[in-house]
Structure 1
Amino acid sequence: MVLSEKQGVSVYCTVLNEESSIKALLESLLSQTRLPDEIVIVDGGSTDRTIDVIHDYTQKYPIIRLFIEKNANVAQGRNMAIANTSYDIIVSIDAGCIADRFWLENIIEYFDSSVDIVAGVCVPDGKTLFEICSGEVLYPSVDEFKADWPSHQNLAFRKHVWTKIKYPEKCYRSEDSWFNLRLRENGFKCKLAKNSVVYWRPRKNFREVFNNSYMWAKSNIENDVRASKTRQLAQLGSRKLIWNSSSLLAFFVVFVFFSKVGAIILFPFILKPMINTYPGEKNISKIIYKNTIYYTHILAYSLGYRDGQKIVKRRLKAESGKR
């Protein structure tokens, strides 16, 4: 599709303390084969040099517009950015990402008069062994992306879509899942652009994996976003953790108090159900990392689910006391 000047394209992004990555993102946007007609950025109150770096770019490139909204969460930042766009087609990319040179040209090519939403794909760009394993364990492959369940790291839509289903500002996480559910409910026409690629850095360490999984599960339950599926995943994770912890405890009891030889003989049979073998993976270090990342994720997810439930119960109790 060829867009007229009136049918320009707005790219937007929300940022917070992205001093180390914002330059790479902006350079990738300014190097597109089809330049955006504007780039709208909302900063949630960065305390590093993110704002200074963006200001430098706004002086050189008038298409970049910066808005600062201290303490804004991601949903609030998304709504503010989109409200300040000038064109009908809006494309979302996240901080920490780098757009392929043909990214924008390819994603807008899928629009015609019947299409409301085009989903691109996201490819992990891990720099360390941990990041590579984190990307492979926790995130979908290119073939697993769905047109009607887009990643908001790489998403294009017509403005009327957002006008009908703005991001829920009560959600400090899960705002994209909430948005995707409303896309399906409203029957918007979606397409998938596998040739529109964004690269991004996966979680860098166990703390980031834990915090992200915990906050997602807690927000899902607290804000009733895919609560049923979150509950199923959390309960499955809890059962796995309990079973595996019990198996390890039994091994150490046998080893310490009964037969060391017997315990060692039994150990492979105890260990095997605990290990996700990841077919085709031959690197022992990666298998160890992947399993540790996986169990960190399900532990955090289970705890987030539990704490989200507590908040919901307190809220319901407070509401019933007012009646």
Structure 2
Amino acid sequence: MHFSLVSTIFNEAKRLRQTIADLEAQTIKPAEIIITDAGSSDNSWEILTEWQQQSAVPIVLLKEEGCNVARGRNIAIKAAKYDLIVSTDFGCRFHPEWLQSLIRPFEEDKTLQVVGGAFSVIEKNVTSLPAKSDFILQNGYPIVLDDFFSVSSRSIAYKKQVWEEIGGYPEWLTLAADDTIFWKLIKRKKYRYALVEKPYVYWGRHKSNKAFAKEAYRYGLGDGESKINYRNFWSNLIETVLRYSMFVLLILLLSLIVLGFAPWYILFTIILLFPGLRSYKNAFKNWSQLKSTKYNFKVFLNALWQLELSRIQYLKGYIKGLSTKDPAKIAGRVALWQTLHRPESDN
């Protein structure tokens, strides 16, 4: 079965050669590979050009300075020759059977229109303190294919017609959430899809808390611009307000005790704010299950710090995205909202 592999790239030179090696080792090969570079300032383009000259698979290299991920994906897909599209993100790692896992379901069921894959991390490559903390917060990246599972476009295959009918990836976004929206529209429009439970794609995690916070901000910005995951936003906001209120009251109580006062009603109020520690409780539960020499108490403490940084940045990004005055983003958000919430008979 012929298919086109499409991807975007931006400054992935450090991980690009490993990505290429993983793709060369695939048990089945795409009929073509199309890559959109958003204007990399490292030597990503040179590495891709070298690969293009050596690859047995035709490689098409496209470039558009400053394009966002959605725009980059759309450019690559528009240039694709084949009806079946496999999408990913360069910089990831791939199991040798990754492409096969996405293509085989189409061969077994001719009515399928979409196949979604899962992704995880390579645990032995989780070496930095922040990456270990993230591993704890994510509870080891378990795969749960429930109604809340969202297929990332780092591992998905679909008929080109699906992409055309959906209207492509939403270019009105600044950066993130394009694939989340794409998946929501696939489900809303009831395309026939199958899910691959085993993760065959692995993404690299960051080496600093600052990088994780930046990532959270981008996710929040995309969610806010598109006004999706708003229940998650409100849940996180309320929990954070409760937690910080509890911290403030606890400091106040201790200060008053030192001064000789004992306003124990403040302690009662603090107890009422305990739901604000929900994420701390979950982090401790995860760490209790995973703790080892590698995932020690220092990792747990950093996980709490990383949680605070990422949570604040996500909320900050969401609020900024939600309050955008950009006409294109507002129009895109309204159109998306109407599509996702109109009666099913109208879809």
* Residue 66 of structure 1 pairs with residue 68 of structure 2: no
Change (3 A) 1:248 1:21: farther
Report the counterpart of residue 98 of structure 1 in structure 2.
93
- Is 1:103–1:195's contact at 8 Å kept on the other side of the alignment? no
Q: CA deviation at 1:209?
A: 1.5
| Shift of residue 251, structure 1, vs aligned partner | 5.9
1:23 aligned onto 2:14: no
The worse-fitting range, judged by mean Cα deviation, of 195-204 and 161-170 is 195-204
* Displacement after TM superposition at 1:256 (Å): 5.7
C-alpha spacing 1:232/1:140, structure 2 compared with 1 (3 Å):
farther
**Aligned counterparts of 1:115 and 1:140: Cα–Cα separation in 2:** 31
Q: Measure the CA separation in 2 of the matches of 1:306 and 1:254.
A: 36
Aligned to 2:156: 155
1:280 pairs with 278, 284, 289, which one?
A: 289
Of 117, 122, 136, 2:119 maps to 122
One-letter amino acid of the structure 2 residue matched with residue 280 of structure 1: Q
For the 8 Å contact 1:11–1:36, the answer to whether it is kept is yes
CA–CA separation in structure 2 for the residues paired with 1:136 and 1:54: 35
Residue of structure 1 in register with 2:205 after alignment: 202
Aligned 8 A contact 1:214 1:303 in 2: yes
State the partner residue of 1:225: 228
Q: CA RMSD in A?
A: 3.1
Q: Is the 8 A contact 2:4 2:86 kept in 1?
A: yes
For 1:102, give the aligned amino acid: E
User: Contact (CA 8 Å) 2:84, 2:159: kept in 1 or not?
Assistant: yes
Match in the other structure for 1:171 = 173
Give structure 2 stretches of 5+ with no counterpart: 262-270, 332-347
Q: Which amino acid aligns with 2:85?
A: I
The change in CA–CA distance for 1:15 and 1:255 in structure 2 (over 3 A counts) is farther
Residue 320 of structure 2 is matched in structure 1 by 307
Cα deviation for residue 244 of structure 1 reads 4.3
Instruction: Name the aligned partner's letter for residue 115 of structure 1.
Output: L
- Give 1:32's aligned amino acid: Q
**Structure 1 residues 299 and 257 mapped into 2: Cα distance closer, same or farther (>3 Å)?**
farther
Q: Provide the C-alpha distance between the structure 1 equivalents of 2:185 and 2:3, rounded to a whole number of angstroms.
A: 23
| Other-structure match for 1:48 | 42
One-letter amino acid of the structure 1 residue matched with residue 240 of structure 2 = S
Q: How far apart, in 1, do the equivalents of 2:320 and 2:215 lie?
A: 14
Q: What secondary structure does 2:119 align onto?
A: strand
Q: Judge conservation of contact 1:10–1:37 (CA < 8 Å) in 2.
A: yes
Return the alpha-carbon distance in structure 2 between the equivalents of residues 272 and 233 of structure 1: 11
Which structure 1 segments of 5+ residues have no match? 260-268
Q: Which amino acid aligns with 1:101?
A: P
SS in 1 for 2:72: helix
CA shift at 1:46, angstroms?
Answer: 0.5
SS at match of 2:105: coil
| Structure 2 counterpart SS, 1:280 | helix
TM-score by length of 1: 0.83
Other-structure match for 1:89: 84
Partners of 1:315 and 1:249 in 2: CA distance: 45
Deviations 1:146-205 (A, max 9, x none): 587312111111111111111010012211111111111100111111245111112332
Q: Which whole-Å CA distance do the structure 2 matches of 1:95 and 1:194 have between them?
A: 21
Percent identical across equivalent pairs?
Answer: 23
Distance in 2, Cα, partners of 1:152 & 1:63: 22
User: Number of residues paired by the alignment?
Assistant: 305
> Which segment drifts farther, 146-155 or 291-300?
146-155
Check 1:66–1:150 CA distance in 2 against 1; reply closer, same or farther (3 A cut): same
Residue 315 of structure 1, CA deviation = 6.5
Q: 1:76 aligns with which of 71, 74, 80?
A: 71
Structure 1 residues 274-283 or 38-47, which shifts more? 274-283
Name which of structure 1's ranges 34-43 and 195-204 shifts more when overlaid on structure 2.
195-204
